[in-house]
Each structure stands twice: as structure tokens, then as C-alpha cells.
Amino acid sequence: MDPSRAAEARSINVLELFSLAQTAVETAPAAIGGGGANLKLWAYVGFIGLVILFLALDLGVFHREAHEVSMKEAISWSIVWLTCGVAFSAFVYFAYQHHWLGLGLDTPIYNPATKTDPTAPLIVNGVVDGKTGAIQYLTGYVVEKSLAMDNIFVIALVFQFFAIPGKYQHRVLFWGIIGALIMRGAMIFLGAELIMRYQWILIIFGGFLILTALKMALIKGNDDPSQNIAVKLAKKMFRTVDFFDGQKFFTKRTVKPTYSTDPKTGKQIQDPAPAGTLGLKWAMTPLFLALILVEITDLVFAVDSIPAIFAITPDPFIVFTSNIFAILGLRALYFCLAALIAKFRFLKPALILILAFVGVKLLLLSVPPYLGVIGLEAQRAIKIDPILSLVIVVSVLAIATVASILVPSKSGKSAH
């Protein structure tokens, strides 16, 4: 065959394949009918793959060697994660607008009919456009990011108690994030399934958020990590040591490691364990005990934050992605704020207000249709506009931040 004709034929074949692929993508949702859920599964797979890539680059490339994270590095990474989190809203917009992989189609939404009909189901499956999806994602992202702030205060306390060196803190936070991703993913999909089957659970979520806000405002928590039941059980059930073996979570050393200076690099290197000092069994280092508390801390805060995001949307994809992006930047945010906690004296009151607002929002949405259960006349649900929610949350955080800078604590200590 003439080379020019062969090239032309290949060009035509490529164009035909592209045209067929485009037609297939455009007609897939209609053609497969009930297969939309299978398409959405690929959206989750793709997102999780992206997260794994981010984490692999973070630990395997940028933080391969243990080092203390400087303020400059922490700020740079915070900007990177914040940019990624906000930029993902653009993907959400186009994916929901054009229904890539079925996103936005047959999606759980708060039923608009409840505005006029109190007897209508609170949650139904419907179509979500790009603008609505992007606003819901951004609102959820900001809410989750703000609620993560209080998590940082507790993590700082844990690191202080166990005297975790700065160069090892990133490793603890990294594996803490891995555990958080798994736990939150499970809790989100369990919560989504529950509210689809039993919509009255939203009332419990709303009430729980109100109670949490009141507890944060009125009751001071236990500031001693050694009194945590998980730490006590770990020390009773497993062997522990009171020294660090580099950045290892477990060690067979029975004596504290010594270090010497490498004459070539000038860096501190760990000396080999002296003969006869290695035990037969593994023991937990303080690094692992700190990791246990970091995981428990995130679990506790997830119980607050996941109901908060469900007040914005019942769409599992929006809930999942906004949660994950919020906690992905938690490590860098920690290193930015850990040394500046005392300056943000009004942050905790702001978080209390945000929790209370989201709890009220959820109750206004879920309670009115169920008033008939207690003998009152059922009313239409009251849904606060997502844009208004976003403005309120951002405004509260901005006011708290500015007030903390302008009116610093006289004692120089945090009120937390």
C-alpha cells in the first residue's frame, strides 16, 4: 500500500475510533440505564488512585528522610494542598455539568418538594448540575477544613506529651492520615446508607452537633493523654519502651540508641545496637503510642464533622471528596499553626458557632416533616441555601482570625 494512503487510512481509523468513543461516552448513561452506579464506582476508584499518588509522592519523594518541617515548607505545602482542594471544585463542576461517569445523575438530593409538601420524602434521587455540585463541594470543604482546626490543637498536645521530636512528627501525621482516610471512608458510606434508609437519623445528627457545640463551650476536656484508655490498654497488653528508635514505631532495642556524626555528610547517624542489647520481642515506641492517639483523635472529630457535611448534601461523592481533601492538608496545616496556636484565641468560639449553625441547619431541614410524630402538624422542611452557608462559615472564620490577630491573648496562652 502507498505510504501516504496508509497514513490517511490510519488517520481515518483514529478519527472513527475517537468519534465512536465520544458517542459511547455521551450515550452511556442512557444506554446502561441502571448501570450509573457502576460508572460512579470508577469515579471513586479514580479519586482514591489520585489520593494514593499524592501520598506516595509525599512520603516517598518529598519526605523520604526524616527532618523537621520548617515554617516555610509547611506554608508551601499548605498552599499546595489548599490549591488542590479548591481546584477540585472545577472538576466537580464539569463532571456534574456533563455527568462524567454518571456523576450528578440519580444522585441523592434533599427533596425540593418538601418546601411545599411536608409529607414528601426528605431525600430522593435526582439530577445535580455543575454549579450546585461545585458549591456543595466548596461549602463542605470549608466546613471540614475549619473543623479540622480543633483537631490540630489536640494533636499538638499529644506530641507535646510524648515529646515527639519535630523531625518525626510528619511520619506520625502521615500514617495518621492513612488511618483517617480508611475510617472516614467507611463512616461516610455507612452514614449515607443509613440516611437513605432512615431519614429521621438526620435529626440525631443535628442534635448531636448542637450538643457537641455546647460541650465545647461549657466543658473543658481532659488534657492528659496518659489518661486515655487506649494508651493505658496498650501499655498493659504490649511491651513498650520510653525512648525513640529513629522513626520506627516498633523496636527490639532494650537500651536507648546513641548517635554519631558522619564525617562525610555532617549528619547524625544512629550507631548499631551494642551486642546483647536486642530483645527477642518487639516493643512499642512512644511514636506508636502517639499514632494511636492521633487516630483516636481523628475518629472522635470525624463523629462531629461527618454529620456536619451531611447537613450540606446527602451526595456520598461530595461528602467523601470534600472530607478527604480537607484532611489531606491537615499535616501541613498542623506545622503552620502548631507554633501559632496562642495567637488564634478566637478560633475555638468560631468553631463552636460553625458547629451550632450546621446543627441548626440540619434540624431545620429534618425536624419539620416529622412533627406529626409528636402530635403536631407536619411542616415543610427549611433548607438554607448552600451559597449562604458558605458565606456564613467563611465569614465566621475570617472574623475569628482577624480578631485573634488584633486582640491577642494577654497571657500569651491559648484558651484551648
pLDDT digits 0-9 by tens, 93-134: 999 999 999 999 999 999 888 878 888 888 999 999 999 999
Question: In the prediction, which pLDDT does 104 show?
Answer: 95
Q: What kind and span of H or E run contains 253?
A: strand 250-253
Can you give the pLDDT at residue 253? 92
Report residue 172 CA to chain centroid gap: 16
Output the pLDDT for position 162: 84
Domain-by-domain residue ranges, the chain?
34-220+296-406
Q: Distance between terminal CA atoms of the chain?
A: 79
DSSP code at position 222: P
With contact defined as beta carbons under 8 Å apart, do 143 and 394 qualify? no
The grid cell for 316 is: 456520598
Distance CA 282, CA 142 (A): 42
Q: Is the pLDDT of residue 27 over 80?
A: no
**Residue 221, pLDDT above cutoff 60:** no
Output the CA–CA distances (angstroms, integers) from residue 123 to 48, 297, 318, 369, 387, in the order listed. 27, 31, 15, 12, 20
Q: Are 289 and 226 in contact (CB under 8 A)?
A: no
pLDDT at position 28? 36
Backbone dihedral region of 99: left (phi > 0), alpha (psi from -120 to 50 degrees) or beta? Answer: left
The three-point CA angle 79-84-89 to 5° equals 130
In this structure, how many other beta carbons lie within 10 angstroms of the beta carbon of residue 385? 9
User: Which pLDDT belongs to residue 8?
Assistant: 42
Q: Residues in the chain, how many?
A: 416
Q: ∠211-145-353 over CA atoms, to 5°?
A: 35
How many whole angstroms separate alpha carbon 102 and alpha carbon 39?
6
- How high is the pLDDT of residue 374? 82
What is the predicted pLDDT for the residue at 341?
58
pLDDT(87) > 90 = yes
Continuous segment of H or E residues that includes residue 110: strand 107-110
Residue 235 pLDDT > 90: no
Res 248: pLDDT:
92
CA angle 194, 196, 200 (to 5 degrees): 70
Nearest alpha carbon to residue 124 among 136, 111, 134: 111
HSE value, Cβ hemisphere, 13 Å, CA-based, for 89: 16
**Contact status, residue 166 vs residue 347, Cβ threshold 8 Å:** no
pLDDT at 62 over 80: no
CA pair distance 111, 134, nearest whole angstrom: 18
Q: What is the mean pLDDT of residues 371-380?
A: 81
In contact, 301 and 293? CB cutoff 8 Å: no
Task: Round to whole Å and give the CA distance between 201 and 204.
Answer: 5
Residue 209 scores a pLDDT above 50: yes
**pLDDT at residue 5 greater than cutoff 70:** no
- At 231 the pLDDT is 77
Q: Identify which of 5-14, 165-174, 222-231, 302-311 has the greatest average pLDDT.
A: 165-174
Q: What share of the chain is helix, strand, coil (3-state, %, to 5)?
A: 70, 5, 25
Count other Cβ atoms within 10 Å, centred on residue 89. 19
Distance between CA atoms of 292 and 300, rounded to whole angstroms? 12
Mean pLDDT within 150-154: 70
pLDDT at 364 over 50: yes
CA geometry: angle at 221 spanning 217 and 224, to 5°?
155
Question: Predicted confidence band at 24 (pLDDT cuts at 50, 70, 90)?
Answer: very low
Q: Which residue has the cell 496508509?
A: 6
What is the per-residue pLDDT for 318? Answer: 96
Residue 136: pLDDT band with limits 50, 70, 90? very high
Q: Give the model's confidence band at 68: pLDDT under 50 very low, under 70 low, under 90 confident, else very high.
A: confident
Distance between CA atoms of 362 and 356, rounded to whole angstroms? 10
pLDDT at 17 over 50: no
Asked whether residue 274 carries a pLDDT value surpassing 60, the answer given is yes
The predicted model gives 166-182 an average pLDDT of 87
